[in-house]
A and B are shown apart, each in its own frame.
Chain A
């Protein structure tokens, strides 16, 4: 069975601080996909990144970066120089090669205070 664990329920930081959101996953598949989504108060899910299991290269997109480590089954997300607009719930998710089901973690509430 597939499982995603986001151990951090809620994180509060002050603007301009860096923050890392943890994600640990479990799967028996050799090919799978990992995702991060942002859910602002409006409720609409915003896609941030997709990574397949064969691509362990870290990725940076502006203030966002992702660290994928198969050895520890982790796919952590770092926001550098956080801003108030980053305040949202962040979900890590996992799907199989055939994308039949997206399994979401419990989510991490990020509060960035000015």
Chain B
């Protein structure tokens, strides 16, 4: 077990529109979910940490009004990129931490966002 899914796997949108990416833990409850961003040929950078039922904690330099995160249930977190611009094009990866697990994060397959 410990499967994490993301939807969509890829998306193309026009500049100025908003895009929502879903992250689901399929077979376990995730009290904490993490959102990472990965630019081409670069490492993963943590954007924010979301805990079920509370506001997300954003890393320094990440605009919380632009990247809206909602963790409404123990199996679902969403990342909405508002008013997307070409520079937001990236690979977005979520991970989920199992309830009562302090260190194990299970990663989703990622979502490739292209803003034209």
Contact = CB atoms under 8 A, between A and B. Distances in A.
Q: Do A and B come from one complex?
A: yes
Interface of A: 33, 37, 42-45, 47, 50, 52, 91, 95, 97-107
A11 to B, nearest CB: 15
A16 B101 CA distance: 38
Given A43-B109, A45-B93, A50-B104, A102 B43 contact: no
Interface residues of B, number: 21
A86 B42 CA distance: 19
18 contacts: A43-B93, A43-B110, A45-B44, A45-B93, A45-B107, A50-B103, A95-B105, A97-B102, A99-B101, A99-B102, A99-B103, A100-B49, A103-B46, A104-B44, A104-B45, A105-B43, A106-B42, A107-B43
A95 to B, nearest CB: 6
A83 B101 CA distance: 34
Contacts of A106: 42-43
A100 B56 CA distance: 13
Interface in B73-107: 91, 93, 95, 97, 101-107
Given A44-B110, A45-B107, A104-B44, 10 more contacts: A33-B103, A43-B110, A43-B112, A47-B106, A50-B104, A91-B44, A99-B104, A101-B49, A102-B44, A102-B95
B34 interface: yes
Contacts of A91: 43-44
Q: Which of B93, B97, B102, B106 has the most A CB atoms < 10 Å from its CB? A: B102
Contact of B46 (A50, A97, A98, A101): A101
